[in-house]
Amino acid sequence: MQQPFETAVAQHGDTVLRVCRAVLGAGPDADDAWSETFLAALRSWPDLDEDTNVQAWLVRVAHRKAIDVTRSRARQAVPTDDLPDLPSSLGNPGEGGGDLWQVVARLPERQRLAVAYHYLGGLPHTQTAELIGGTPAAVRRAASDGIARLRAMLADDRQGEMS
């Protein structure tokens, strides 16, 4: 490019900021998109063709960065003061069942992982197999053996409490 990058920032910075604010509204998100625009532009600056319309190019980059911020907003949790009307039917992890977690921890690793990912995490056996290795049939067997072992250990623990 024939002009220095700093000159482009000075000439087109206000335009880029207006674009960011038009898409995102005034505030820190627009300022972040402005910064991201010029960081991306700085990386590409040495390879930019001499006859490029710099303002149009920067506006296009700013538009894309603003869309990135919009998409990132959609993936973030929004804090609220309102609590859900009903408590979860699944309960809260860590509440009660403390002895169950101790028994699960005593399972052999493969069975424990298969039980955790399939029954507690809700993953199908195919995805569980991808995580811990092996075939879906082997993971299904490990999960089944883990549940059977859990039942036996819990029954033994209950028998020990009654005696």
Q: How would DSSP label each residue in 7-46?
A: HHHHHHHHHHHHHHHHHH-SSHHHHHHHHHHHHHHHHHGG
The pLDDT assigned to 132 comes to 86
| Integer Rg of the chain from CA | 28
Distance CA 93, CA 161 (A): 25
Give the pLDDT confidence score for residue 137 in this predicted structure: 95
Tokens 């960065």, located at residue? 65
Cβ burial 82-118 (10 Å sphere, 16+ → b, else e):
eeeeeeeeeeeeeeeeeeeeebbeebeebbbbbbbbb
- In the predicted model, residues of the chain with pLDDT beneath 50 are 1
CATH topology assigned to domain 5-74: Rna Polymerase Sigma Factor; Chain: A (1.10.1740)
pLDDT for residue 91: 59
The pTM of this model reads 0.46
For residue 24, how many other CB atoms are within 10 A of its CB?
Answer: 21
pLDDT in tens, 100-110: 767 877 888 88
Domain edges within the chain: 5-74, 98-162
Question: Can you say how many angstroms the Cα of residue 154 is from the centroid of all Cα atoms in its chain?
Answer: 36
Nearest to 34, CA basis, from 69, 2, 4, 1: 69
pLDDT at residue 95, as a whole number: 57
CATH 2.40.37.20 holds for 98-162: no
Cα(48)–Cα(111) distance, integer angstroms: 56
Residue 156 is predicted with a pLDDT of 80
Q: DSSP letter at 88?
A: -
